[in-house]
Structures are given as structure tokens and as C-alpha cells.
């Protein structure tokens, strides 16, 4: 019997170090296929967030331009989050999150059907991510970062206000979202 892997996966690439520093393989199609990740990445994005507590999200693209994402932080530390928005999913509206940093080298794979967002936990964070489709403005969507039904713990101090884009400040709540994403039989599970 084949184990059904969670659709959102925390990837922990090995680092091989010596006196010069370290080397790591951040993406290998055959290695990722063994994890059940068989998408083809066609676009790489890179962002710089200068102030601590910059929050970007929760974002997704609707079909036919949905995006699988492979996210990593190459400078600083972020808290990266995925929210299940697949219609019919037993874990609809639930989230998982992980701390990604330049130091730990972890990556988060977020498949189509999940909203994605992150908050920076220090100043001057740089994030890169691979996408399985190019940016399509007509398919750009989002959910409120502070939706009370999702109730994400963004790891910010009590009373701290995040730095938001004008668009992210007014995204709709999950309750008013009619999801175009279908459940694929793999419920969201805690990150390993």
C-alpha cells in the first residue's frame, strides 16, 4: 500500500559542509517526484521585504492558471503558511505553517488549491519561490490574512500590526469565497 503524502510538504534539503561553507541541492525533479511532487516549474519569483512583520498573503491563482509553489527564504526568517481552500476537503479552511530561514534552508511546497502567505520575522528578508504557472492577473485571488475562521497564528507579538499592501488589507473573507478548487483525496496533515 502506498502512503498518501500530505499535499503541503516541508522540504529539508541536506547541506554538505566543509571549511569553505556548504552546498545544497534545492530542487531535483527525480527527488521531488519521489515525494509525489511532479509539477513542472516555469517561473521563479524573488521578493525583498524590508521591515520586520511585512505580511504578504493570502494569495492564490484560480484555474486554469493555478500555481504550485516551492518557497524558500534566502535571507532572514519568515513564517510561511498554506491554507486549504479545496471545495469538499475535510480540512477546508485549516492551515499549516513553518519557519523558513536562510539558516535552516527549509522549503515549503504549496500545491494548487491552497492559499499562501508569509510574514517576515526580521528586517530585510528575501524570499524566492518557483511557480508551476506564470502570473495571470485575471486569475489573481486572495483571502484576508486575519480571517477569524482560519485564525492563523502569525507569530507576531500581541498588538503588532503587519505591513500590508493595499490589496492585502481588503481581501475577502473565506466565508464569501466560492472555491473553484476540487479536493483530490489528500487531506492537509501537520508538517513533518
Known catalytic residues are: 59, 129
Report DSSP state, residue 139: G
DSSP code for 171: P
Measured CA distances, 185 to 5, 7, 16, 89, 159 (Å) = 11, 10, 36, 8, 38
Q: Could you tell me which of 27, 22, 47 has the C-alpha nearest to residue 37?
A: 27
Instruction: Look at residue 162 and give its three-state secondary structure.
Output: coil
Enter the C-alpha cell of residue 149. Answer: 475562521
Amino acid at each position: 500500500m502506498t502512503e498518501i503524502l500530505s499535499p503541503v510538504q516541508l522540504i529539508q534539503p541536506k547541506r554538505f559542509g566543509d571549511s569553505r561553507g556548504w552546498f545544497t541541492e534545492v530542487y531535483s525533479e527525480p527527488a521531488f517526484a519521489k515525494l509525489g511532487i511532479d509539477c513542472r516549474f516555469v517561473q521563479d519569483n524573488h521578493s525583498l521585504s524590508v521591515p520586520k512583520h511585512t505580511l504578504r498573503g493570502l494569495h492564490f491563482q484560480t484555474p486554469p492558471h493555478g500555481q504550485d509553489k516551492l518557497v524558500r527564504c534566502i535571507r532572514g526568517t519568515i513564517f510561511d503558511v498554506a491554507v486549504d481552500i479545496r471545495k469538499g476537503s475535510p480540512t477546508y479552511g485549516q492551515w499549516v505553517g513553518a519557519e523558513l530561514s536562510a539558516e535552516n534552508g527549509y522549503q515549503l511546497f504549496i500545491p494548487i488549491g491552497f492559499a499562501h502567505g508569509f510574514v517576515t520575522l526580521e528586517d530585510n528578508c528575501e524570499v524566492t519561490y518557483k511557480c508551476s504557472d506564470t502570473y495571470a492577473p485575471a486569475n489573481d485571488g486572495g483571502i484576508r490574512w486575519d480571517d477569524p475562521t482560519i485564525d492563523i497564528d502569525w507569530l507576531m507579538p500581541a498588538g503588532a500590526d503587519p505591513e500590508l499592501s493595499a490589496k492585502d488589507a481588503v481581501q475577502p473573507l473565506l466565508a464569501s469565497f466560492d472555491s473553484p478548487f476540487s479536493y483530490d483525496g489528500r487531506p492537509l496533515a501537520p508538517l513533518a
